[in-house]
Homo-oligomer: A and B are copies of this chain.
Amino acid sequence: MNTVQSISNLRQIRNDLPSPVGLVPTMGYLHEGHLSLVQRARQECANVIVSIFVNPTQFGPHEDLDAYPRDIPRDFALLEKYGVDLVWVPELEQMYTPDFQTWVTVERAAQPLEGKMRPGHFRGVTTVVAKLFNSVLPDKAYFGQKDAQQVVVIRRMVKDLNFPIDIVVCPIIREPDGLAMSSRNGYLDHEERQAAQVLFRSLSAAMSAFENGNNDAGQLREIMTGTIMSEPLADLQYVSCADPDTLEELSGSISRALLSMAVVIGKTRLIDNFLIGD
């Protein structure tokens, strides 16, 4: 397994790699969710490149950039085991020079939900992903459905800016009790970890209702809200029943939707989602 830091070294190695090349962009501290993306890329691509970069521009001023967990040696060992060809760990100083001043912005799809709670977050995501795409020039790039709005926003960017890249989205990987895998789950203490089940429970309750014939968007939101409110340690930021392509909030009867939510447990902010319908 090759590892590189500078973009020039990356380009040199990348130029000699036969297609298709798959990119799995990560912020490191890998869990089974990331590894499922790597496995999918390994199945589909002649070469798999993983980037590890805790991108500062997607964190708000009061978010957990400094606390965000890092363990590069462990990440390298895992990626080696999963047969990755090349790991790129970009240098912060090279990614954002002092005169850096160019941003990629998706408008409507980045406004609601996470975009509303985390101003500037998606501008940081789309900008760094554009940089990763232009540096690696992958044929395919792999993202997790866990970050559902990120998927919508990146698909939008790829289409609008004509990136010649297939975006592959992989299902959420969950703990046995349903909690979606996240590098931030490690922040939770024992009691909070129990309380964190409420996200999966509330999404499951709404999906059951939908499958039993309740297709009213407002009522599905109420079911999710009610379940979250029943957990004393949970602080609800939003619940949503939205169009999966545009993320516009739905009302009345629906045939398909993205159910999503953000919940703070203690000091840890968790998100989760289900796609329902055809």
Segment 130-181 of A: residues with Cβ below 8 Å from B: 130-131, 134-135, 137, 156-157, 159-164
Q: Residue A102 contacts which of B99, B126, B135 (CB distance < 8 angstroms)?
A: B126
Interface residue stretch chosen among A40-48, A104-112, A189-197: A104-112
Number of copies: 2
Does B107 lie within 8 Å of A134, measured CB to CB?
no
**A106, A109, A126, A162 interface centre (most CB from chain B within 10 Å):** A162
Smallest distance from the beta carbon of A31 to chain B beta carbons, Å? 28
Q: Residue A108 contacts which of B101, B106, B109, B131 (CB distance < 8 angstroms)?
A: B101
Smallest distance from the beta carbon of A122 to chain B beta carbons, Å? 11
Closest to A160 in B: B102
Does A105 lie within 8 Å of B107, measured CB to CB?
no
Number of interface residues of A (CB under 8 A): 30
Closest to A15 in B: B164
**A99, A101, A104 interface centre (most CB from chain B within 10 Å):** A101
Does A135 lie within 8 Å of B162, measured CB to CB?
yes
The interface bits of chain A over 90-109 (1 if a CB of B lies within 8 angstroms of the residue's CB, else 0) are 00000001011111111111
Does B101 lie within 8 Å of A160, measured CB to CB?
yes
Which B residues lie within 8 Å of A276 (CB)?
none
Which B residues lie within 8 Å of A184 (CB)?
none
Which B residues lie within 8 Å of A103 (CB)?
104-105, 107
* C-alpha spacing A11/B7, complex, angstroms: 26
Closest to A107 in B: B101
* C-alpha spacing A131/B161, complex, angstroms: 5
Which B residues lie within 8 Å of A135 (CB)?
162, 164
Which B residues lie within 8 Å of A106 (CB)?
101-102
Which B residues lie within 8 Å of A101 (CB)?
106-109, 156, 160
Smallest distance from the beta carbon of A80 to chain B beta carbons, Å? 26
30 example contacts (A-B, Cβ-Cβ < 8 A) are as follows A7-B162, A11-B164, A97-B160, A99-B156, A99-B246, A101-B106, A101-B107, A101-B108, A101-B109, A101-B156, A102-B104, A102-B106, A102-B107, A102-B126, A102-B157, A102-B160, A102-B161, A103-B104, A104-B104, A104-B105, A104-B161, A105-B105, A130-B161, A131-B161, A131-B162, A134-B162, A134-B163, A134-B164, A135-B162, A135-B164
Interface residues of A, Cβ cutoff 8 Å to B: 7, 11, 97, 99-109, 126-127, 130-131, 134-135, 137, 156-157, 159-164, 246
Q: Which A-B residue pairs are the 3 nearest by beta carbons?
A: A102-B160, A101-B107, A134-B162
